[in-house]
């Protein structure tokens, strides 16, 4: 057992010091302007999170290619971006000695029909079941296109450093493009990028190397990795450990543990294993194993609600940092509160309009949180008892009837 406290500082392999053990995980905000640049509202939201006490605040996923969005109001960081708007965002989010990092992503086939006619993926395999109503079948990327995507990640990382972000995270989890390459279920290529894990992880390693080349050794480069995708014939915990070890060998600064995809949303609901149900943090047992297997620091994300569970995870050496997402939408100063009181806990009620199909159609589990971001962006306080029908109505209003019908289940 270790005696590390939530308030203890931490040094990353690249030398960056962070002031405590709280890591605000990525949450796509849906607050970019129409050109996919950060808005004033985003600045307001992030200055609140900076004051809330987390050592590292991660942005919601920023897309590396404006032709491939995961959601309509994603931010995009590329050569067409307004860098001054990015600088203003960084300035707001870096107050209070907060390290503001950019999460970089490409959605691959997890881009809904109303945004993407022809999504791309490692192989032309559609998403499963009812998701097919809302997502088009992708086409397989060609080798030269894959190198373009790698260059896009590297370019976005270079721009992130240029505008003042203090780190970047590669989103290799949750079923997006990189995670599609890692999965033997989604990647059926017969070239050097398919088949054995060594081939399936090539894309991620090449992205990491290309980014490192751009940002240098003293700049944090992290990854968000699935513990597993929880699908038959999919990305397993054994695969995940091997990928983490390869990244650790290359010098990754931080590995954030999550799990699942749109097909099996374990990142939001946890997993049904008996050993895991007893634990507040969904992927705690896996994180413990990972931490024994790599020298790189580990962040564990998903399910943390009480200061005691967070302290226990640190004491059991399951992780070095505590990843928190949804609780920060209703309690932006959770880190300060949890550091001050070991009895602190937050209860997030299950969300439903009472109509399951509608909940799925408007992605209530995300849109309710996005409605909180929208409130904060307008200078209002978050509202824990915000009505689910209001969040559903906002989706309808923002996307219009067509998109409402088509939004992913
Ligand atoms: C509204 C919303 C948006 C999210 N967007 C992202 C994202 O952009 N990138 C990402 O890696 N995870 C995203 N997540 C997942 C969270 O980072 C986190 O893994 C998950 O919510 C579990 O952590 P929690 O139990 O502390 O909320 C999002 C979650 C929510 C609720």
Check which CATH number belongs to the domain holding 132 and give it: 3.20.20.70
Q: Span 353-361, mean pLDDT?
A: 88
pLDDT in tens, 37-70: 999 999 999 999 999 999 999 999 999 999 999 9
Identify which of 267, 332, 382, 398 to mutate to test ligand 1's pocket (most ligand atoms within 8 A of the CB): 267
Domain that holds residue 399: 349-409
Average pLDDT over residues 194-209: 98
Name the one residue in this structure whose structure tokens are 């001050």. Answer: 340
Instruction: Please compute the mean of the pLDDT values over residues 245-266 and round it to a whole number.
Output: 95
For residues 315 and 409, membership in a common domain is answered with no
Nearest CA to ligand 1 atom 31: 366
Decide: 169 in ligand 1 pocket, CB within 6 A: no
Residue 398: the pLDDT is 78
- The mean per-residue pLDDT over the stretch 162-184 comes to 98
Point out which residues pair with 170 in neighbouring strands: 104, 223
Q: Is 377 domain-assigned?
A: yes
Residues 341 and 380 placed together within one structural domain of the fold? no
Strands (DSSP E) found in 229-373: 254-258, 298-301, 321-324
Asked if residue 142 has pLDDT above 50, the reply is: yes
- State the total domains in the chain: 2
Which two tokens mark 279? 């634990």
**Are 115 and 402 in contact, with CB atoms under 8 Å apart?**
no
Predicted pLDDT of residue 58: 98
Q: What is the pLDDT of residues 377-398, one digit of tens each?
A: 999 999 999 999 999 998 888 7
**396 shares a domain with 276:** no
pLDDT at 326: 97
Last residue of a domain, which of 348, 364, 387? 348
The verdict on residue 216 lying in a domain is yes
- Quickly count helices (H) and strands (E) in the chain: 16, 13
pLDDT exceeds cutoff 90 at 206: yes
- Please indicate, yes or no, if residue 153 is contained in any of the structural domains: yes
Q: Please give the average per-residue pLDDT across 185-204, as a whole number.
A: 98
The best mutation among 174, 325, 348, 370 to test binding of ligand 1, ranked by most ligand atoms within 8 Å of the C-beta, falls on: 325
Note whether residue 155 is domain-resident.
yes
**Residue-averaged pLDDT of the chain:** 94
Same-domain status, 132 and 253: yes
Q: Going by C-beta distance under 8 Å and a sequence separation of 6 or more, which residues neighbour residue 246?
A: 201, 205
Task: Note whether 283 and 393 are same-domain residues.
Answer: no
**Are 308 and 361 in the same domain?**
no
pLDDT for 277 equals 61
Q: Cα–Cα–Cα angle for 268, 274, 277, nearest 5°?
A: 40
Is residue 302 lining ligand 1, measured as CB closer than 6 Å? yes
Is residue 4 included in any domain, yes or no? no
Q: Are residues 395 and 312 in the same domain?
A: no
Does 284 share its domain with 361?
no
Answer with the residue of higher pLDDT: 330 or 407: 330
Closest residue (by CA) to atom 1 of ligand 1?
Answer: 366
Task: Give the end of a domain, one of 323, 348, 373.
Answer: 348
Detail the DSSP E strand segments found in 33-167: 56-63, 75-76, 99-105, 120-121, 139-140
What is the pLDDT confidence band of residue 409, given thresholds at 50, 70 and 90?
very low
Instruction: Give the residues across from 152 on adjacent strands.
Output: none
Q: Which of 298, 318, 348 is the last residue of a domain?
A: 348
User: What are the b/e assignments for 222-258, b being 16+ CB within 10 Å?
Assistant: bbbbbbbbbbeebbbbebbbebbebbbeeebbbbbbb
Residue 5 lies in a domain: no
Structural domain contains residue 1: no
**Residues 6 or more apart whose Cβ sits within 8 Å of residue 257:** 225, 227, 283, 286, 287, 290, 298, 299, 300, 301, 302, 319, 323
- 174 and 41 co-located in one domain: yes
Residue 257 in 3-state DSSP? Answer: strand
338 and 355 inside one domain: no
Judged against a pLDDT cut of 90, whether residue 222 lies above it is answered with yes
Give the list of residues 6+ apart from residue 311 with CB closer than 8 angstroms, or none. 5, 6, 342
Is the pLDDT score of 408 beyond 50?
A: no
Q: What is the mean pLDDT of residues 275-284?
A: 80
In this predicted structure, which of 102-106, 172-176, 240-244, 279-283 has the lowest mean pLDDT? 279-283
Same domain, 376 and 332: no
Domain for residue 370, yes or no? yes
Cβ(326) – ligand 1 distance below 6 Å: yes
Residue 8, both tokens: 């203890």
Average pLDDT over residues 123-148: 94
Domain co-membership, 127 together with 185: yes
Q: Is 279 in the pocket of ligand 1 (CB under 6 A)?
A: no
């Amino acid at each position: 057992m270790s005696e590390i406290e939530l308030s203890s500082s931490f040094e990353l392999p690249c030398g960056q010091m962070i002031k405590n053990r709280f890591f605000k995980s990525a949450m796509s905000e849906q607050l970019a302007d129409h050109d996919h640049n950060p808005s004033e509202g985003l600045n307001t939201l992030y200055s609140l999170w900076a004051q809330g006490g987390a050592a590292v605040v991660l942005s919601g996923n920023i897309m590396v290619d404006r032709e491939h969005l995961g959601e309509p109001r994603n931010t995009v960081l590329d050569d067409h971006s307004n860098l001054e708007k990015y600088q203003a965002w960084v300035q707001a989010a870096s107050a209070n000695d907060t390290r503001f990092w950019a999460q970089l992503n490409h959605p691959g086939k997890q881009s809904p029909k109303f945004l993407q006619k022809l999504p791309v993926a490692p192989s032309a395999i559609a998403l499963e079941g009812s998701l097919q109503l809302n997502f088009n079948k992708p086409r397989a990327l060609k080798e030269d296109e894959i190198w373009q995507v790698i260059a896009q990640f590297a370019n976005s990382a270079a721009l992130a450093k240029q505008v003042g972000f203090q780190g970047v995270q590669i989103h290799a989890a949750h079923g997006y493009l990189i995670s599609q390459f890692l999965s033997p279920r989604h990647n059926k290529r017969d070239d050097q990028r398919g088949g054995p894990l060594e081939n399936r992880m090539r894309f991620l390693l090449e992205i990491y190397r290309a980014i490192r080349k751009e940002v240098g050794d003293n700049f944090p480069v992290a990854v968000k990795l699935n513990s597993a995708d929880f699908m038959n014939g999919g990305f397993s915990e054994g695969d995940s450990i091997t990928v983490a070890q390869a990244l650790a060998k290359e010098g990754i600064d931080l590995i954030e543990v999550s799990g699942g995809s749109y097909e099996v949303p374990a990142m939001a609901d946890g997993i049904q294993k008996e050993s895991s149900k007893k634990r507040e943090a969904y992927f705690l047992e896996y994180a413990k194993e990972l931490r024994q297997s790599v020298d790189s620091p580990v962040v564990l994300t998903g399910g943390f609600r009480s200061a005691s569970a967070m302290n226990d995870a640190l004491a059991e050496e399951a992780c070095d940092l505590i990843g928190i997402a949804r609780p920060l939408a209703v309690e932006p100063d959770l880190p300060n509160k949890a550091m001050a009181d070991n009895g602190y806990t937050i209860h997030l009620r299950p969300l439903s309009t009472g109509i399951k199909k509608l909940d799925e159609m408007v992605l209530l589990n995300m849109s309710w949180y996005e409605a909180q971001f929208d409130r904060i962006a307008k200078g209002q306080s978050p509202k824990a008892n915000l009505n689910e029908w209001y969040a559903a109505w906002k989706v309808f209003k923002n996307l219009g009837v067509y998109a409402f019908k088509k939004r992913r289940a």
